[in-house]
A and B are shown apart, each in its own frame.
Chain A
Amino acid sequence: MKMLINGQPCQVPEGCSVAAALAHAGQPSATFCGMGQCQQCQVTIDGVNHRLACMTPAVDGMVIEVAHEPC
């Protein structure tokens, strides 16, 4: 699956969450609870801010921005 992460095209495995895809691409979001409670893994997906990486399935062609300073 191809995704654009912080402006860079990346190959990531199929069937994983955005959090996992980011980790595979070496640009992890700040994950902790893994189940949508702590809100630490917020990233921008396809232009929409504050989406939870751990709860969102990664989809081919997604454009993701990860802030390097957690909010």
Chain B
Amino acid sequence: MNPVEADVIVVGAGPAGLAAVRRLLQANQRVIWVDQGARPGGQIWRSAVPQQWEIATHPHLLWLPGHAVIAAEGQQRLLLHSLINPSQASLWISAPRLLLALGARERFLPFPGWTLPGVHGAGGLQALVKNGWPIRSQRTVLAGSGPLLLAAADTVRAAGADLRLIAEQASATTLTRFAARLPQGKIAQAAALRWRLRGAPYRAATWVVRALGEYKLEAVELNDGSHVSCEALGIGFGLLPNTALAELLGCRISAGAIAVDGALQTSLKDVYAAGECTGIGGVDKALIEGELAALQMLGQDDARLRRAHVRAQAFAGRLAASFAPRPALLQLADAKTTICRCENVTLAELKTQADWRSAKLQTRCGMGACQGRICGPITQELLGWPAQQGVREPLQPVPLGCFLPPRDPA
């Protein structure tokens, strides 16, 4: 089992991973760069990487797109599986230093009807549409919280959706305050976005209380009692750091993110983390942290970048505070609302259990295909269960053959 070796492994090709790889290659490090997507960009840039960030092929770069990390041995060896070519043998890679740029996933808060076909995450709908999902002329509602709503609305509008409503749960006052404190560079961006979305009603202090429809989405009901007919609903309440690989390696997790020190080092020496996975803060924080982590690995530093980091973290704080979901959103799910989508476990069933582990064993919540990625955070918010989901190999379902010992001793 001879792994492919390098100086550094970077997991994730979003902004943080990109910034890190660029800096590492400049310093002539041999890098293995892994991402599940077919092209760099992660969720934010999704294959449309701004030109100055494009990384040409480089002799010291082994770029492995379409690969998922599924297991680890110690802190320096990772097992990869090809999603594009699943019959390919799984691959071990190894390096003395590891950078986790795992990004984020969307945070969901369930409500009656949220499992109807036609209901997607807001970021989810954006991702689907960017990958060709047909939304032209579909009456579409974007709802939830945060700047991601507007970005998603922009994408679906550009793809020809009939955008009926953007419903932001935060109050108008909160939004005004947030906008007033936007850094210079972002104000122009925000204004341009608002201009492009001028045709769509945007309502603050508004949220979806239920999705209606018999076999698929037909309309949503809002908190003011009104109904909006639609075929597509994108709903999301910000992002959650992805931490599964970090947990598997044994990194300390704090407040739902990978805990890092000032040098972006995790609790494990030689394992670094950067970007959304250390705390939700957007593209700027990710770019800065990716570069800072790379510099730290090279034994270097950059005071200007550190100052920018402090500013980016402050922005992240304001983002979290401004768009924190109001308590009413935690009350939308009723007894019959599905919480664990994989195993169809309702809120009523979960309320009979004392904690996550009991719920898992007695109701199958979290035992399904997503292994608690979606429902785990929901149970934390709705039921107050502490996070302890227990990550195991494989990090996502893969053909069993991935774990068979190689036929010939390599």
Contacts and interface: CB of A to CB of B under 8 A. Distances in A.
Residue picked from B36, B37, B121, most chain A C-beta under 10 Å: B121
Contacts of A58: 132
Interface residues of B, number: 34
Contacts of A20: 128, 131-134
Contacts of B133: 16-17, 19-20, 23
A6 interface: no
A35 B124 contact: yes
Interface stretch (B21-29, B269-277, B357-365, B366-374): B366-374
Q: Is the interface on chain A under 10, 10 to 19, 20 to 34, or 35 or more residues?
A: 20 to 34
Interface in B98-119: 105-106, 117, 119
Given A33-B374, A38-B370, A54-B127, A16 B121 contact: no
Interface stretch (B82-90, B191-199, B247-255, B305-313): B82-90
Contacts of B134: 20, 23-24
B60 interface: no
Contacts of B396: 36, 39
Nearest to A28: B117
Interface string B122-138: 01111110011110000
Interface string A30-60: 1111111111101000001011101111100
Contacts of B353: none
Contacts of B399: 48
B43 interface: yes
Contacts of B124: 31-35
Nearest to B122: A34
Interface string B383-406: 000000000000011010000000
Given A32-B374, A54-B131, A55-B37, 18 more contacts: A15-B132, A17-B133, A31-B120, A32-B120, A34-B120, A34-B124, A35-B123, A37-B373, A39-B370, A39-B396, A40-B369, A42-B369, A48-B86, A48-B399, A50-B397, A54-B128, A56-B84, A57-B38
8 contacts: A13-B132, A32-B119, A36-B396, A37-B106, A38-B373, A39-B370, A39-B396, A50-B397
7 nearest CB pairs, A to B: A16-B132, A34-B124, A20-B132, A39-B369, A17-B131, A34-B127, A20-B133
